[in-house]
Structure 1
Amino acid sequence: MNQRDQDGTPSWPIGATSTYLTARRKLASAEQDLRDQIERVAAARRNLPPGPLLADYQLTEPDPDGPARPVRLRDLFGRHGTLLVYHLMFAPDATEACPMCSLWIDGFHGVLPHLRRHTAVVVIAKAPPERLHDWARQRGWTGLRTVSSHGTTFNADLRAEHPDGTQRPVVSVLRAEGDRVRHHYSAAASLPDGGERGLDLLSPVWNILDLLPDGRGDWYAGNDDVPGRT
């Protein structure tokens, strides 16, 4: 923000009607309240007490140049002290991943260089590694690390899987603690009251649609509308 934006210059053009100005000023106040509430929630999230220690799961990483290779959960951190995990809904017997999950990951991929300044990032799914690699290729997730949890209890242990094996859309933040891994935070797309939008703040698509006069409408992401998908 530059100095001219800090001197009270309004966010509406010259010529706005008095009716518009009244409504927009009321909205501006609500937007400030929302900003403050978001920061209060973020602070509470940052200050959570230590979560449980996790097993050092042996996962499987696809290799486009050869057979898939084993990788330990702790090794996914690299030089970072934290690991951001998107639990992609992609069941072992599914031919495609969840389109809504894939939409979220599209957004992560777009800002990956910025995220990696602060944290390691990985997409973990229950699908076999070869199928996961093929899906990442179709979506254009170049450079985004994808790892299969096939054959492990990782998804179930982190509540990214229902008891019947159905996958759940979840984002987790893990912390490195020596050679161990500790859970810090997880959030699912569904909120405790059963409603959705639990992960909406992590998607640029929904936040931008909320700026438009028609809002989100009844649109739902699909796998057939991805440009260049083969």
Structure 2
Amino acid sequence: MTDTEGSLAEPSINTDWMHQLKSITLHVEGDPPPMWPDGASEEYRAARRKLAEAEMALRDQVEAVAALRRALPAGAVLPDFVLTGDGSVRLSELFGEHRELVVYHLMFHPDDAEPCPMCSMWVDGFHGVAKHLTQRAAVAVIAKAPIDKLREYGERRGWQGIRLVSAHDSDLPRVLGVEGSRGGQFPAVSVFARDDDEGIRHVYTQSADFGDGSGRGIDLLSPVWQVWDLLPRGREDWHPHNSYAVSPSRA
């Protein structure tokens, strides 16, 4: 494996389970995938088939967009910004042994008591799959709030499994455009790559809003919105907040 393929210490992929699980080995080739139970009307079946065609077209569009993203030219070379974690930590140190770094820019102004509830929901999702994400890339959450305030909130929220870093005294948010002219914070995701010859390169940044002001810029990164879109009622006007419990209940 070369350095450009991800982590320098990336473990080999074991797919033996695909040939061991009865849930897979008992499949019969040609069995149709489930889309309705017995008793579904022909009207429902026809509409569901049409929806399946649209869903497959959406899948193909998502794949095409991902290919365009991967084909972006080399981005700008960035300074090795000094941030705050366990003492001072440089942006380059967040990579660890990986070649790529994914950052969620948490909307948490230094004067706010808590971050944006929408951002909290997104980080809940990243935290839940962090063990999987870090098999391929480094992951960190960066906020403008001071490190003590950020960590105190992270402990209450249960974010012990994801790296929290403060950009309180750093120009990183301003340089990336995730901080406005008056200090307002933008929720966004950024990707960086480590270049052996030139240092750290910016790869991609996308805010929760697109450049035209429309939303849903990073909705695909949150499972909550995807599940709400499955419901007959859709998303409606639901918004998350920081006051309800996020710890999993025990049966």
Any residues of structure 2 matched to 1:1-230 within 5 Å, and which? 4=28, 7-61=31-85, 63=86, 69-178=87-196, 180-227=199-246
Q: Is there any run of 5+ residues in structure 1 with no aligned partner, and where?
A: 64-68
Secondary structure, aligned partner of 2:234: coil
Q: Is there any run of 5+ residues in structure 2 with no aligned partner, and where?
A: 1-17, 19-23
CA shift, 1:182, in A, is 0.3
1:167 maps to amino acid: Q
In 1, distance between residues paired with 2:46 and 2:103?
43
**TM-score, structure 2 length as denominator?**
0.85
Secondary structure, aligned partner of 1:71: strand
List structure 1 runs of 4+ shifted beyond 4 angstroms: 1-7
1:126 maps to amino acid: K
Provide Cα deviations, 1:88-110, integer angstroms capped at 9, x if missing partner: 01111111111101100000000
In 2, distance between residues paired with 1:26 and 1:58?
52
Residues 20, 5 of structure 1: alpha-carbon distance in 2 compared, 3 angstrom cutoff? farther
Secondary structure, aligned partner of 1:216: coil
- In the alignment of these two chains, the number of paired residues is 222
Residue 66 of structure 1 is matched in structure 2 by none
Secondary structure, aligned partner of 1:156: helix
1:28 maps to amino acid: A
CA shift, 1:224, in A, is 0.9
In 2, distance between residues paired with 1:12 and 1:159?
47
CA shift, 1:79, in A, is 0.4
Residues 211, 5 of structure 1: alpha-carbon distance in 2 compared, 3 angstrom cutoff? farther
CA shift, 1:216, in A, is 1.1
1:33 maps to amino acid: A
CA shift, 1:7, in A, is 4.7
In 2, distance between residues paired with 1:116 and 1:185?
18
In 2, distance between residues paired with 1:10 and 1:206?
23
